[in-house]
Amino acid sequence: MRAWIFFLLCLAGKALAAPQEALPDETEVIEDPTTEEPVGANPVQVEVGEFEEPAEDVEEIVAENPCQNHHCKHGKVCEVDDNNSPMCVCQDPSSCPATAGVFEKVCGTDNKTYDSSCHFFATKCTLEGTKKGHKLHLDYIGPCKFIPACLDTELTEFPLRMRDWLKNVLITLYERDEDNNLLTEKQKLKAVPLPWQVKKIHENEKRLEAGDHTVELLARDFEKNYNMYIFPVHWQFGQLDQHPIDG
């Protein structure tokens, strides 16, 4: 035991006798300045100026079409002249859209069937300034109907049936004229120069009602009730143009 105590004392004395090691001098540590990366930046170093500047979008200016707001009548189309001014010229009938069926066909007053109204008006435009073009009009929708020559019997019946038809038209106008003013008061009450009145025709119980009557019955009724037929003829004749512009 004493030996151990003596050994420890020797070690302690040796430690006190040894020179203390010098502590290292405190030196000022200068931190290297680092560039602060923006929040959310890619950790991979990107060199500035690597990307090219985006090219500016150049809006293409489209020249306005002079014909855009220039309207032409049926049968004509708009074209631009040498001065870039719009003008209307006759449409080529071959440029008209193809027709889809018979219902698009039209009939002209020349009794000719046209594929469509476009074909008709284009053809009429090409005849502008001519007598034929002046008389050509759209008659009705659909192909032209075949009109055979009148028979001799039909020509004989025509005056009788026409007078009867005019009488029935006048009576119909009188019956529907309460609020429509289809007839003037003069036409209703006084037939000039004849003293027969439409009212009397309407109230006559002996007048022949409208129908498909035989020629013999029409002829007999015309002779018996002459005044009942003559005024409708005079009335219709007065509706005709006194100075027609179409000759």
**pTM for this structure?**
0.43
* Contacts with 76 (C-beta within 8 Å, 6 or more apart), sequence order: 88, 89, 90, 91, 125
Distance (Å, whole) CA 230 – CA 240:
16
233-242 average pLDDT score: 60
Q: Give residue 101's pLDDT.
A: 80
pLDDT in tens, 90-109: 999 999 998 888 889 999 99
Could you tell me the domains of the chain? 76-141 (3.30.60.30), 152-238 (1.10.238.10)
Q: How far apart are CA 90 and CA 108, in angstroms?
A: 18
Average pLDDT, the chain: 73
The predicted structure's pLDDT at residue 142? 92
Reply yes or no on whether the pLDDT at 160 is more than 90: no
**Interacting residues of 111 by C-beta distance below 8 A, sequence separation 6+:** 139, 144, 147
Q: Per residue in 101-149, pLDDT tens?
A: 888 999 999 999 999 999 999 999 999 999 999 999 999 999 999 888 8
- pLDDT tens figures, 192-227: 433 345 666 665 655 666 667 777 777 777 676 766
